[in-house]
Amino acid sequence: MTMYPLLRSALFTQDPEVIHDLALACLRHPVAARVLRSILPPAPFCPVTVCGIQFRNPVGLAAGFDKNAVALDAWAAMGFGFVEVGTVTPLPQHGNPKPRIHRFPAQRAIVNSMGFPNDGSDAVARRLEAPRDPAMPIGANLGKNRGTPIEDAAEDYAACLRRLYASADYFALNISSPNTPGLRHLQDAGAIRALLARVTSERDSLTAAAARKPILVKIAPDLDDEQIGQIVSAAQDAGADGLVATNTTTDHSALPNRIPLAGGLSGEPLLERSLHVVRTARARSDGALPIVGCGGVARREHFERMIEAGASLVQVYTGFVYEGPLIAHKLLRAS
């Protein structure tokens, strides 16, 4: 896999979404995980327990790559400690018009405007119900269908939670994608409280207190410190178990001046902002709210900084695109 830079140059000559779909079509094949296991060394074992869940290492695949939970064995074979599937919406939907993924290799960044294309909660739940590696926890990232009015959004999150509850290990409420109109308004303190009240009451109706599965809230990087503080207080008061920080940014200033693109920017230009959000959220919660750090992590040094900022777990998406299948190894192994 030191071959990856060569493979990447070939892959990067093609449309990003075509390559993404091709990669998943290969990785979902049962032979893929076996081949990966035979050619990759096992990832270092660095166990952590977060929100009561045991992880064999703290590096996860961020939401959006395997939206439909089709390649879980392959991610385990690459050494990821966990995978967040989704964003899953109650009903299947196609997402926004293509092209909707753009690469910026010089900045090691991506801009996407996907808009939650996914197979819907029923299909994803059925895939998660199939036998899978019990040592690799799965998070389900939940969203609302595009056609659901924002004032009814909580019902969509509750419906997804209900359908996926038995088959995922934790849940992340995605209220921070820039590609679903109005979604980020759910980050207002009052809206977060109302959303969490609905979703946690759904959880309580599904489970005994002893078996409660954690519910995290995924937030944007485009928040000032005051807003981060308000979100932390609202999330804590309303019973959230943790945060995922952060989603993509609407700030495209790191990109060269060109035709403006709709969508969220991910990758290395996001790192400093995500670190700041993690640090601030950590301080505002006095360390009481576990944080999954996400945004711009691609190298060991970034990973270490994310942990120092206060993250208990770290996720990657764009770093995987640029670094390839050994990213978990690279982040975990000091060298």
Ligand X SMILES: Cc1cc2nc3c(=O)[nH]c(=O)nc-3n(C[C@H](O)[C@H](O)[C@H](O)COP(=O)(O)O)c2cc1C
Q: Which residues are catalytic?
A: 177
Distance CA 186, CA 195 (A): 8
The amino acid present at 47, given as its one-letter code, is: P
Determine if 294 is a binding residue for ligand X (CB under 6 A): yes
Determine if 113 is a binding residue for ligand X (CB under 6 A): no
Residue 15 or 37: the one with the smaller Cβ distance to ligand X is: 15
Cβ contacts of residue 293 below 8 Å, gap of 6+? Answer: 245, 274, 275, 278, 306, 307, 309, 310, 311, 313, 314, 315
Out of 36, 51, 59, 64, which residue is the one contacting ligand X (CB under 6 A)?
A: 64
Out of 50, 110, 235, 311, which residue is the one contacting ligand X (CB under 6 A)?
A: 110
Which of 141, 129, 4 shows the shortest CA–CA distance to 66? 141
Give the CA diameter of the chain: 54
173 to 202: interface string for ligand X, x by CB under 6 A: -x--x-------------------------
Contact segment (CB under 6 A) with ligand X among 60-68, 73-81, 90-98, 209-217 equals 60-68
Distance CA 202, CA 146 (A): 22
Q: How far is the CB of 235 from ligand X (least distance, A)?
A: 16
Out of 103, 218, 276, 284, which residue is the one contacting ligand X (CB under 6 A)?
A: 218
The amino acid present at 91, given as its one-letter code, is: L
Residue 281 or 316: the one with the smaller Cβ distance to ligand X is: 316
Q: How far is the CB of 211 from ligand X (least distance, A)?
A: 25
Q: How far is the CB of 59 from ligand X (least distance, A)?
A: 11
Q: Is residue 244 within a helix (H) or strand (E), and if so which, with residue range?
A: strand 242-245
Distance CA 172, CA 230 (A): 18
CB atoms within 10 A of CB 298: 21
Out of 266, 280, 285, 312, which residue is the one contacting ligand X (CB under 6 A)?
A: 266
Residues that bind ligand X (CB under 6 A): 62-64, 67, 86-87, 101, 110, 112, 114, 116, 141, 174, 177, 218, 247-248, 266-267, 270, 294-297, 316-319
